[in-house]
Amino acid sequence: MLTLFPELFDPFWNHGMIRRAVQMGRLIPLTVPIRDHARGRHQVTDDRPYGGGAGMVMKPEPLAAALARARSEMAAATTVLLSPQGRPFNQELAQSLVSVPELLLVCGRYEGVDERFIDRHVDLEVSIGDFVLTGGELGAMVVIDAVARLIPGVLGNPDSTACDTFSDGLVEHAHYTRPPVFEGRAVPEVLLSGDHRAIDRWRRETALMRTVLKRPDLLAERDLGPEERTILEQWRRNMERLLE
Ligand code: 9D3
């Protein structure tokens, strides 16, 4: 991890799943402060853009020196720059990053990073979405969090990554726990029935309906299975009956 704000990562490395990945030796909580690798009395890390314009650009030399320091601990690492121009991060990219042996994340700040550093040292640019952040640090935490939980053994229950939201293209069914009645609202009866086939069917059906209501874009990108067709046709018949 290369950053101008290493202190942002201190609590991050020390909690929950991330700490477990660190303890397992699968995540190195190494934060290289880019500023420590800047030369001169003022340790300047940014400068004005050639050609003019607003904002500042991250100088390439401190980044390259900080990267060399990080590479002394992870020689063969793939370098990932967090940047608004990057490939949009999603579960599929998280899945493919978890099988890369070593990842080294670089957080930019200011308006951008000198392109020559990117050309020479960056293997992949990743964005966490189409909105503007003040720097790459939160992006790096998002990527680390999403990838770390896919490392075998980091999550207590390996099943919980198998049916992640989006990995089968639907949002999840609703979840309930005790008490059986909360603020006058009961838990759906089927969940208390002990009938596991009925529960499974209810979950698949409501997952599909919740996707229709909350994330119709997910369904537009994928084909319906035969059971899903049946469920939607059933709903259509119910709607038609209501309209009559
Ligand atoms: C006006 C041009 N801006 C590009 C959209 C300049 C600019 C704004 C913010 C350049 C860099 C940044 C800092 N952002 C990140 O470093 C960043 C980011 C983001 O802003 N959005 C989504 N994902 C990411 S990952 C890193």
Per-residue pLDDT of the chain (244 residues; tens, 9 = 90+): 999 999 999 999 999 999 999 999 999 999 999 999 999 999 999 999 999 999 999 999 999 999 999 999 999 999 999 999 999 999 999 999 999 999 999 999 999 999 999 999 999 999 999 999 999 999 999 999 999 999 999 987 777 777 675 668 999 999 999 999 999 999 999 999 999 999 999 999 999 999 999 999 999 999 999 999 999 999 999 999 999 9
Q: Which of 5, 118, 133 to mutate to test the pocket of ligand 1 (most atoms within 8 A of CB)?
A: 133
Q: pTM value?
A: 0.94
Half-sphere exposure of 86 toward its Cβ, with a 13 Å CA cutoff?
A: 31
State residue 165's pLDDT score.
59
Q: Could you confirm whether 36 is annotated as catalytic?
A: no
State residue 58's pLDDT score.
98
The token pair that represents 145 in the structure block: 């969090």
d(CA 41, CA 63): 17
- CB of 209 sitting under 6 A from ligand 1: no
State residue 52's pLDDT score.
98
Residue 3: strand pairing partners? 33
State residue 161's pLDDT score.
79
- CB of 135 sitting under 6 A from ligand 1: yes
Determine phi and psi for 16, rounding to 5 degrees: 50, -130
Q: Could you confirm whether 164 is annotated as catalytic?
A: yes
Rounded to the nearest 5 degrees, what angle is found at the Cα of 162, between the Cα atoms of 156 and 168?
Answer: 150
- CB of 139 sitting under 6 A from ligand 1: yes
Q: Which residue is closest in CA terms to ligand 1's atom 7?
A: 111
State residue 178's pLDDT score.
98
Q: Which residue is closest in CA terms to ligand 1's atom 4?
A: 84
- Catalytic annotation, pick one of 26, 29, 145, 164: 164
Alpha carbon of 57 to those of 18, 87, 104: distances in Å? Answer: 31, 21, 21
d(CA 46, CA 126): 21
**How far, rounded to the nearest angstrom, does the alpha carbon of residue 153 sit from its chain's CA centroid?**
18
3-state class (DSSP) for residue 144: helix
